[in-house]
Amino acid sequence: MFRILFLLLSLFASTAFAAGYVSHPAYPAFEAKMIREHGFSAGEVQRLLGQAERKDSILEAIARPAEKRLTWGEYRKLFITKARIDGGVAFWRENKDALAQAAKRFGVDPEVVVAIIGVETRYGGNMGSYRVIDALATLAFDYPPRSAFFGGELEQFLVMAREQGFDALQLKGSYAGAMGMGQFIPSSFRAYAVDFDGDGHADIWNSRADAIGSVANYFNRHGWAAGAHVVDAARAVGAVAADRMNPGLEPNTPVSELRALGLAPRSSLPATELVLPLMLETDDGPEYWLGRHNFYVITRYNRSPLYAMAVHHLSQEILAALRQP
């Protein structure tokens, strides 16, 4: 009698557990799309989403991205640290062949590749501990402001796992479903991840060569100009037009118009060159910078001027440390 009751209870428990996101009102449309557009079977989508779990900590994290809360002075202190500079020098020395090959093949300066991997994951030290399927399902089904975006990424994730022969229930990433050393979301993985060590898989979690090649390919495809400036320093030469500072992310302001905004470049630039005038707050008052084309390219990785500044400054600090005897 007790044995039968126990069996019934465990059957009920396993059925309830297996429901996962399959019982969500928006699930049937997702399943239909995976069948119609990607040739999945209903059973396969149910097997995967049935084991996806809602994580409330993800919903809390998505509501407060660091770039929205911090000044440049505060943001810089998080990323430009001795540990992260030293880590970049070590990562560079340990992976100098892959970095040199990636620089040659993709035309991307190695310091920006190293700095991206440093800012994103401390050189692979923190690649995220959520199951990607939990992160993307939670945001796709239970975060209405961005359900379309994350639903698309969940779709790309299941296709990507099938293409690569990865177990979609095992892969780990950030709370937003970003994966591996360079934190690629699934659509970026499918578009830009490469197998750079030639073992047949683009393994951006475990292969440093694959991660390096993939980040370099991303920058190549977004138009990185090797050796060109990322930002130039500027100074105030009058009352700075604060409302004209930080106008988006693209360099659209001719150098010839800067003086009218109260700025001048610290070194000479052609009058027709287009720049992005930046005013960034620090504890010691505002800093003024002029973003160039490569600054815009870094923002294709993460659409934040603070992020692009941090990547650029870290890259320069690593270069300087590397060149010390």
Catalytic residues: 120
Quick check: 210 binds Ca ion (CB under 5 A)?
yes
- 153 versus 210: smaller Cβ distance to Ca ion: 210
Q: Which of 269, 263, 276, 268 is nearest to 312 (CA)?
A: 276
CB 212, min distance to Ca ion, A: 11
Q: Which of residues 171-200 bind Ca ion (CB under 5 A)?
A: 195, 197, 199
The reply to whether 53 sits near Ca ion by the rule CB under 5 A is: no
* Distance from C-alpha of 50 to C-alpha of 32, rounded to nearest angstrom: 15
- Measure CA of the first residue to CA of the last residue in the chain; give whole Å: 78
Q: Which is nearer to Ca ion, 204 or 234 (CB)?
A: 204
Q: Which of 147, 144, 297, 306 is closest to 219 using CA atoms?
A: 297
Q: Which residues pair with 232 in a beta bridge?
A: 290
Contacts with Ca ion, 294-323, as mask; x by CB under 5 A: ------------------------------
**Nearer of residues 172 and 229 to Ca ion, judged by Cβ:** 172
Strands 285-291, 263-265: pairing is unpaired
Residues 6+ apart with CB under 8 A from 140: 26, 30, 147, 150, 151, 153, 154
Contact with Ca ion (CB under 5 A): which of 183, 207, 253, 302?
A: 207
Place of tokens 């060109």: 228
User: Nearer to Ca ion by C-beta: 106 or 141?
Assistant: 106
Does residue 214 belong to the site contacting Ca ion (CB under 5 A)? no
Binding site for Ca ion (CB under 5 A): 195, 197, 199, 201, 203, 207, 210
